[in-house]
Amino acid sequence: MKSTILITGILLSAAIMGACSAGDSGSTDTMDHSNMSDEEIQKTNGEMENGHMSHTNPLALNDSSGENELALPPLLKPQNNKENIYTITAQSGETEIFDGIQTKTLGYNGSFLGPVIQVNEGEKITFRTKNELDEKTTFHWHGVEIPGIGDGGPHNYVNPGESKDVKFTVNQGAATLWFHPHPEGSTAAQVYQGLAGLIYVEDEQSKTLHLPNEYGINDFPLIFQDKQFDDNRQLNYKFAMNDDGTIGDTLLINGTINPKLTVGKEKVRLRLVNGSNARNYTYQLNTGDAFQQIATDGGLINEPNKLREITLTPGERAEIIVDFSKYDANSEIALLNENGAILLPFNIDEQKSSNPSDIPTNLNDYSVTNEERNLPVSKKLELFGMDNMVTINNKQFDMNRIDFTQKQGETEIWEIYNKPDMMGGMTHPFHIHGTQFKIVSIDGQEPPVSEQGWKDTVAIDAGETFKLAVKFNNKGIYMFHCHILEHEENGMMGQVEVK
């Protein structure tokens, strides 16, 4: 078995090299393919056809057999309703992912993954974080506008046995956000082993929309994470680790292997969360039918956006509504990825139903203002490299170096360029902590409708330049980095201090 794994490893790196040449969104492909097998070349070409290049996806995902009903993360109630205290404990444990086998995992308030924390705009809340692991961790609230001191970046360690309260007022609109650890050097490993949870924000306006919102009935979170299990069905991060992004052949959704989802004959909201270390997903229905996108990372978009596919890179989220009313119990409906792998088969239960829901035509009032469009660029970032040679502005992360400063409440234009390398380059999902930003332009053009909304993570393809309107409503030190977690570990990260 060990030798098979070794061979897979070699093929994998060859395929990664191959895929790199396809990175340049298919414009010029000058790489010499002579040393690649037909299969690898085919793979490379296949990935070029798929507009969004996927440098990190050479290892195919297994189809879900659909034998297990999807697990739903528990909703976390505040401990003391008046004070809105949410207790979140990082712990280790064992989880029966495969029938009859215990896999060692990490989780929040449980052995694997974490709860959904539901909060409302305007509420004062406390996250009471506890570390019951035997290593240091941090609690990072991805997408939350929170003072830097509570952001849970690498400066905010919680040592084993320690507890820390994070208090803040929710000051952003309805969105699907998430949380995960961020300790320097072990973020990727801790996330891989299971530390990730969700935060749902609601606001006054979102509650009046009658969107599907019955948790676990017509409103489901789907946390996509690919894993490579070893012979003993364990998640051995060191064994699976790849400097250019750790991927696996086995998909877990909400921690469930071979999941299926039972839905009613009605409109169903799916909150897609790419919680993978490195894998990209382009989601589509096997029927080719369209669905409606209603939200980006950080909020509802203005109008439902009819799509047949949507791509999420690590860290990104989107909410979509699939209308199952046109199918019946015998229909075979499934969510697939770009290669046609079955991610999630649906089971339609005609008895199951919820309160009638709507997809109103007006969901939000997001806009990029003229003022924002006319602001000069004040911060320039250049992303470059691959493997452990990844940099931002030619530098690797240094916790003792502040790369930029910005004034609280002031909008600045960040220009981010993903500089191609000799082999084309690769997509980097670029993320900024502590803020929801707007994409002003991509290579001088309007972003696609699917990205015209609040974002905290953007997929920047090789050769592309993004202009972002970035404003921090709080003070403190915030990270910005590539959300391929191994790139982040390898130093593709910097810090902005907001004063």
Buried b (16+ CB within 10 A) or exposed e, 111-149: bbbbbbbbbbbeeebbbbbbbebeebbbbbbbbbbbbbb
Q: Does 180 bind Cu ion (CB under 5 A)?
A: no
Residues 479-498, interacting with ligand C2O (CB under 6 A): 479, 481, 483
Contact partner at residue 180 from Cu ion, ligand C2O, none, CB < 5 to 8 Å by partner kind: ligand C2O
Which residue is it, tokens 């029966």?
96
Any residues with CB less than 8 A from the CB of 251 and at least 6 apart, and which? Answer: 61, 62, 64, 224, 225, 226, 227, 257, 341, 343
CB of 456 to Cu ion, least distance (A): 7
Q: Segment near Cu ion (CB under 5 A), from 7-15, 98-106, 118-126, 480-488?
A: 480-488
Among 130, 269, 431, 455, binds ligand C2O (CB under 6 A): 431
Residues 141-170, interacting with Cu ion (CB under 5 A): 142
Exposed / middle / buried, residue 165 (Cβ in 10 Å: 0-12, 13-18, 19+): exposed
* Cα–Cα dist 261/347, whole Å: 6
Q: CB of 209 within 8 A of CB of 260? A: no
Angle ∠(226,227,232) on CA atoms, nearest 5:
155
* Cα–Cα dist 23/420, whole Å: 8
Q: CB of 70 within 8 A of CB of 334? A: no
Number of residues near ligand C2O (by CB under 6 A): 10
Q: Does 142 bind ligand C2O (CB under 6 A)?
A: yes
Q: Segment near ligand C2O (CB under 6 A), from 111-119, 366-374, 390-398, 477-485?
A: 477-485
Strands (E), 330-411: 333-336, 342-348, 377-384, 391-392, 404-406
CB of 50 to ligand C2O, least distance (A): 25
Among 315, 434, 447, 491, binds ligand C2O (CB under 6 A): 315
Tokens coding 434: 């502590």
CB of 200 to ligand C2O, least distance (A): 16
Among 113, 146, 482, 493, binds Cu ion (CB under 5 A): 482
First-last CA distance in the chain: 55
CB of 142 to ligand C2O, least distance (A): 4
Q: Does 317 bind ligand C2O (CB under 6 A)?
A: no
By C-beta, is 267 or 483 nearer to ligand C2O?
483
CB of 237 to Cu ion, least distance (A): 18
Contact partner at residue 315 from Cu ion, ligand C2O, none, CB < 5 to 8 Å by partner kind: ligand C2O
Q: How far is CA 4 from CA 7, 8, 231, 236, 425, in A?
A: 5, 6, 11, 17, 29
Q: Segment near ligand C2O (CB under 6 A), from 15-23, 57-65, 463-471, 475-483?
A: 475-483
Q: Does 455 bind Cu ion (CB under 5 A)?
A: no
Exposed / middle / buried, residue 290 (Cβ in 10 Å: 0-12, 13-18, 19+): middle
What would the DSSP string read from start to end of 401-455? ---EEE-TT--EEEEEEE---TT----EEEEETT--BEEEEETTBPPPGGGSS-B
Contact partner at residue 182 from Cu ion, ligand C2O, none, CB < 5 to 8 Å by partner kind: ligand C2O
Number of residues near Cu ion (by CB under 5 A): 6
Q: Segment near ligand C2O (CB under 6 A), from 45-53, 279-287, 367-375, 478-486?
A: 478-486
Contact partner at residue 113 from Cu ion, ligand C2O, none, CB < 5 to 8 Å by partner kind: none
Contact partner at residue 43 from Cu ion, ligand C2O, none, CB < 5 to 8 Å by partner kind: none
Contact partner at residue 487 from Cu ion, ligand C2O, none, CB < 5 to 8 Å by partner kind: Cu ion
Q: CB of 338 within 8 A of CB of 276? A: no
Q: Does 279 bind ligand C2O (CB under 6 A)?
A: no
Q: CB of 293 within 8 A of CB of 301? A: yes
Q: Does 433 bind ligand C2O (CB under 6 A)?
A: yes
By C-beta, is 272 or 479 nearer to Cu ion?
479
Among 128, 136, 140, 487, binds ligand C2O (CB under 6 A): 140
By C-beta, is 199 or 348 nearer to Cu ion?
199
Among 52, 128, 136, 182, binds ligand C2O (CB under 6 A): 182
Q: Does 428 bind Cu ion (CB under 5 A)?
A: yes
Q: Does 438 bind ligand C2O (CB under 6 A)?
A: no
How many of the other CB atoms lie within 10 Å of CB of 357? Answer: 19
DSSP, res 391: E
Q: Does 455 bind ligand C2O (CB under 6 A)?
A: no
Contact partner at residue 48 from ligand C2O, Cu ion, none, CB < 5 to 8 Å by partner kind: none
Buried b (16+ CB within 10 A) or exposed e, 405-422: ebeeeebbbbbbbbebee
By C-beta, is 76 or 485 nearer to Cu ion?
485
Angle ∠(181,186,187) on CA atoms, nearest 5:
35
Contact partner at residue 428 from Cu ion, ligand C2O, none, CB < 5 to 8 Å by partner kind: Cu ion
User: How big is the chain, counted in residues?
Assistant: 499
Residues 382-421, interacting with ligand C2O (CB under 6 A): none
Q: Does 55 bind ligand C2O (CB under 6 A)?
A: no
Angle ∠(189,180,483) on CA atoms, nearest 5:
70
List of residues contacting ligand C2O (CB under 6 A): 140, 142, 180, 182, 315, 431, 433, 479, 481, 483
List of residues contacting Cu ion (CB under 5 A): 142, 428, 433, 482, 484, 487
